[in-house]
Structure 1
Amino acid sequence: MAAVRSQVATLWAALALCTAMSGEALAQKKYDSGASDTEIKIGNIMPYSGPASGYAAIGRTEEAYFNKINAEGGINGRKVRFISYDDGYSPPKTVEQARKLVESDNVLLIFGSLGTSTNSAIRKYMNEKKVPQLFVASGASKWNDPKQYPWTMGWQPSYVSEARIYAKYIMKEKPNGKIGVLYQNDDFGKDYLNGLKEGLGAKASMIVREEAYDTSEPAIDERVVKLKAAGADIFISLTNQKFAAQGIKKAAEINWHPMHIISNVSASVSGVLEPAGIEVSQGILSATYTKDGSDPQWNADEGMKKFYSFLTQYEPKASKLDAGVVYGYAAAQTIVKVLQMCGDDLTRENVMKQAASLKDFAPDTLLPGIKINTAPDDFAPIEQLQMMRFKGRKWELFGDIISSEMSH
């Protein structure tokens, strides 16, 4: 009897062992190229040279953030290897660098590459290769197209979202106003213009004149004169920094004092408002989603305390006044969060799956109340902004956080 009992016990032990082993087999680590037990390779393309090299601070900050993560033990015990190349903001060069990252460096994914035309040039390639093109650093609305491009996702609020928010603000504050729009005659300007019209909906007739300019034009003075002549009392400048500054200056010269809104990409104090003139820039409106590193109101903010101490330790040469530094930090925190969520399944498919299931994630440098949310059919992580007004020498936030989502 004892012998039978011991046989049964042995059988049970063997069964238990088999069950345990199959459980372990299920929890096996899964890797695509670019990931291993010790390392995760992340590719990146930035304009470290050329006409957009002002944005290079984003890439440098991201690299510093990964250095911090590695110093603290990595992501689930794996060190990040960040491989960042220069494309000089030239799409053919972007294509070359993307191929190098995917085919020679064998990265797991490409993260945070900068620019609309540059990322457009590699989108088809990345999707054919099924390599994540994650958190593209451009506000074009085209990055939110999971059906057609399931391997590409944006990060910042789209230009369409931002313009819808201006429309909501105008309809509340000046519902009988007449709008004059100055916009850049390309995808960037047209995205903004479409968002504005979507947001105004049935009230799109408030727009009394549209003026499109090409970036090759030396000045837009005459266009500003035409907007005033059309009777506009709201001036919306959907432009890059150079032309935003010209618009502010010209409006003051012709003694035109409309409600004046400039796009978030042109809301730089040092790049736009100082050159245009601090005096004539008073009261200008814009919207934002990040905290301003130069604003003392954030000195006691927990998130910004972490950000400032990160700068001191890992990127002391960076300027906390540079919006690109604030941006790079938050974007890097987002990709780290996604990779943490992947656990031991570091396949490209799982990376995209986790990126599309972020819930109320709040990086340290985003405004309080602004959270990152994604879904399999929603590749637009940030869809909220807050209005701000230029006063004295800095931007002052006001009102509630506004969501760009359309009420159906």
Structure 2
Amino acid sequence: MKKHPLRSAGAYCAALWLGLTTLGAAAAPQYDPGASATEIRLGNIAPYSGPASSFSVASKTEAAYFRMINEQGGINGRKITFISYDDGALPPKAVEQTRKLVESDNVLLVFQSLGTASNSAIQPYLNGKKVPQLFVGTGATRFGDPKKFPWSMNWPPSYEIEGYIYAKYILETHGSAKVAVLYQNDDFGKDILRGLKEGLGTQSAAKIVAQEPYEVSDPTVDSRVLALKASGADVVVNAATPKFAAQAIRKMSDIGWSPVHLVTSVANSVGSVMTPAGLANSKGILSASYMKDPTDVTWASDAAQKEWEGFLQKYYPDADRTNNMTVYGYLAAQLMVQVLKQSGDNLTRRNIMDQAASIKDLKLGMLLPGISLNTSPTNFSPVNQMQMMRFDSTRWQMFGPVISATETAKK
């Protein structure tokens, strides 16, 4: 049967219209609460008060970074509204403030909430609500477990891996030494201790002669330091947050005790730890890092450091440039911006998590050379590389190779 030309043309036009309509629908922006054509709302909690308040510098830096991004036009034309509340490092307060962010402020996600205890307290709530808990301010291993907590992802390296790295260093350089551990009695300290024991392997029970936990509510750790000295240890692993790490360094000096001393990456800031503890008292301390240290003259002419300095000068002029939490917050904010850019016009919580789990070899200027960020659906830890360093009483000096978690990890 011969087709009627007008009828065939009409059918073609209808099919074309249907195809264009379907294409337009597929390309239409998609939003979950906290996102719109003009705005992206990010929530945050930080200890602006209390014993962990030195960490709040990270959130202040992130707020400044997002102000800069907004001045530059935002993310795909959308401005970032960054809502940050004080939790005083108190888990009940963290839960209260997080519920406020989600249920009253209608944030799209919670970004870079600080502290192990606070994040542990809010993790079940956010995962139950399917709200991304992205790039949290802790390396506790529970935030890099996509099977158990698919809506949580950490930012700093796993504390367990960090403890493992220190164990390998101890075995290689102080093989016959006795080891004592000062640790915060939460997931942070316990993960460092677990990684240390795994790294020491079958020698763990014999080599670790003292383990002294402290609570974040304790006024000092002086008595814990005295107990560690009494153990006869030659090496101390100091898994404390800045205030208590500084106290321990000073107390060791006061009692004339000079063991090989390693502090974790959360407490190696020149501004918030070494200076309060006394620069002379801190000489020779060891640690590991993945970020450029702003006090290190190695980076004085580095283009990335100059860019960081220019950012602080304009957007956070009161920042203490010796406090590496400004670098930490700067890098975390850059990673968040990268994920938002990748998300394009699909600003659903599901797509945000998918994009966060699709970071491939991302190099940011203030990361140490040789270190890049990578994630996948089975890897929720963006930073998996660190390098050892030694404090010379004025600055940190890097030594040895960049160590990858895949090289040291449990085999």
TM-score, length-scaled by structure 2: 0.90
* Equivalence map 1:104-183=2 (5 Å): 104-183=104-183
Shift of 1:251: 4.3
Contact 1:165 1:403 in 2 (8 A): no
Q: 1:323/1:70 Cα in 2 relative to 1: closer, same or farther (>3 Å)?
A: same
The question of 1:359 aligning with 2:357 is answered no
Contact 1:164 1:404 in 2 (8 A): no
2:294 is aligned to: 293
Superimposed CA distance per residue, residues 279-304 of structure 1 (whole angstroms, 9 cap, x where no aligned partner): 34322111111111222321222222
Which amino acid in 1 is paired with 2:41? K
* Equivalence map 1:184-333=2 (5 Å): 184-215=184-215, 223-224=224-225, 227-228=228-229, 230-252=231-253, 256-333=257-334
Q: 1:80/1:240 Cα in 2 relative to 1: closer, same or farther (>3 Å)?
A: closer
Counterpart Cα distance in 1 of 2:56 and 2:97? 16
SS of aligned partner of 1:33: coil
Q: What value does the CA root-mean-square deviation take over the aligned residues? A: 2.5
Shift of 1:240: 3.1
Counterpart Cα distance in 2 of 1:48 and 1:222? 27
Which amino acid in 1 is paired with 2:144? N
Which segment drifts farther, 171-180 or 397-406? 171-180
2:74 is aligned to: 74
SS of aligned partner of 1:389: strand
Superimposed CA distance per residue, residues 155-187 of structure 1 (whole angstroms, 9 cap, x where no aligned partner): 111221211111122222233333232333333
1:404 is aligned to: 405
Contact 2:109 2:349 in 1 (8 A): yes
Counterpart Cα distance in 2 of 1:316 and 1:251? 35
Which segment drifts farther, 43-52 or 348-357? 43-52
Shift of 1:362: 2.4
SS of aligned partner of 1:378: coil
Which segment drifts farther, 193-202 or 205-214? 205-214
Counterpart Cα distance in 2 of 1:356 and 1:168? 29
SS of aligned partner of 1:399: coil
Counterpart Cα distance in 1 of 2:405 and 2:206? 19
Shift of 1:230: 4.5
Q: 1:229/1:312 Cα in 2 relative to 1: closer, same or farther (>3 Å)?
A: closer
Contact 1:46 1:85 in 2 (8 A): yes
Shift of 1:204: 1.9
Which segment drifts farther, 82-91 or 59-68? 82-91
Contact 1:208 1:230 in 2 (8 A): no
Q: 1:39/1:364 Cα in 2 relative to 1: closer, same or farther (>3 Å)?
A: same
2:22 is aligned to: 22
Which segment drifts farther, 32-41 or 295-304? 295-304
Contact 2:138 2:188 in 1 (8 A): no
SS of aligned partner of 2:399: strand
Superimposed CA distance per residue, residues 184-209 of structure 1 (whole angstroms, 9 cap, x where no aligned partner): 33333221110101122233245240
Q: 1:242/1:105 Cα in 2 relative to 1: closer, same or farther (>3 Å)?
A: closer
- Count residues in correspondence: 406
Which amino acid in 1 is paired with 2:270? V
SS of aligned partner of 1:41: strand
Shift of 1:21: 3.4
Which amino acid in 2 is paired with 1:309? G
Structure 1 spans left out of the alignment, 5+ residues = none
SS of aligned partner of 1:193: helix
Sequence identity percentage: 51
Shift of 1:32: 0.8
Counterpart Cα distance in 2 of 1:225 and 1:125? 40
1:388 is aligned to: 389
1:90 is aligned to: 90
The question of 1:48 aligning with 2:33 is answered no
Structure 2 spans left out of the alignment, 5+ residues = none
Shift of 1:19: 3.0
Contact 1:213 1:220 in 2 (8 A): no
Which segment drifts farther, 326-335 or 299-308? 299-308
Counterpart Cα distance in 2 of 1:62 and 1:399? 31
Counterpart Cα distance in 1 of 2:229 and 2:282? 17
Which amino acid in 1 is paired with 2:89? Y
SS of aligned partner of 1:107: coil
Counterpart Cα distance in 2 of 1:26 and 1:368? 41
Superimposed CA distance per residue, residues 367-386 of structure 1 (whole angstroms, 9 cap, x where no aligned partner): 12221111112211112111
Shift of 1:75: 0.8
Contact 1:38 1:79 in 2 (8 A): yes
Counterpart Cα distance in 2 of 1:228 and 1:117? 28
Shift of 1:316: 1.6
The question of 1:335 aligning with 2:358 is answered no
Contact 1:224 1:247 in 2 (8 A): yes
Contact 1:29 1:344 in 2 (8 A): yes
Counterpart Cα distance in 2 of 1:156 and 1:107? 23
Contact 2:126 2:132 in 1 (8 A): yes
Which amino acid in 1 is paired with 2:308? F
